[in-house]
Homo-oligomer: A and B are copies of this chain.
Amino acid sequence: MKRFFLVAAAALSVTVALPAAAQFQKPEDAIKYRKAAFSVMATHFGRLGAMANGRIPFDAKVAAENADIALAMSKLPYAAFPEGSDKGDTKAKAEIWTEGDKFRASAAKMQEEMVKLNAAAKTGSVDNLKAAFGPTGAACKGCHDAYRKE
């Protein structure tokens, strides 16, 4: 898995996938998908946080693996915000669709920080990981504050 994600990260470019409503038959399918993708991302991002905060020991190999998966996952959710998917089992705010450009910019910001976090994780320095973790978390939080209900 490590080799896979290392190569993947090396080839990565930052893009926010455009909404592709046709990919989901029903709004609830899109909701389920984006929640799942965010959840997998959060698990791996959380492990980096645990290392950055000293809750678990820093391990350069494990950090790199988790950073690669988090980065890969950061690409997926944004294709799953079709019109009409503001209703149902979701905390998505209406602003996602009424100010779509700002939402996409916020998503892109997170993805950019995730690229930096990935690079930092691969330096093998926990100090670099710590330094990059905060801004990435802030980008997550910024989007949550603006576009996710309590």
- A1-B17, A3-B11 are known contacts. Are A40 and B37 too (CB-CB below 8 A)? yes
Q: How far is the CA of A32 from the CA of B33 in the complex (A)?
A: 13
Q: List the one stretch of A69-77, A88-96, A128-136 in contact with chain B.
A: A69-77
| Residue pair B4, A13 in contact (C-beta under 8 Å) | yes
Complex Cα gap A40–B72 (Å)? 12
Asked if A72 contacts B33 (CB within 8 A), the reply is no
- Does A146 sit at the interface, judged by CB under 8 A? no
A84 to chain B, nearest CB (A): 17
User: How many Å lie between the Cα of A143 and that of B76 in the bound state?
Assistant: 26
Question: Would you give the shortest CB distance from A22 to chain B, in whole angstroms?
Answer: 8
Q: Is the CB of A72 within 8 A of B11?
A: no
Given known pairs A33-B39, A39-B36, A72-B72, the reply for A13 and B3 (CB within 8 Å) is yes
Closest 6 CB pairs of A and B: A36-B36, A8-B8, A7-B11, A36-B39, A36-B40, A33-B43
Q: A7-B8, A32-B39, A36-B37 are in contact. List 18 more A-B contacts (CB 8 A).
A: A1-B15, A1-B17, A3-B11, A4-B12, A4-B13, A4-B72, A5-B8, A6-B11, A7-B7, A7-B10, A8-B72, A29-B43, A35-B36, A36-B36, A36-B39, A36-B40, A40-B40, A69-B76
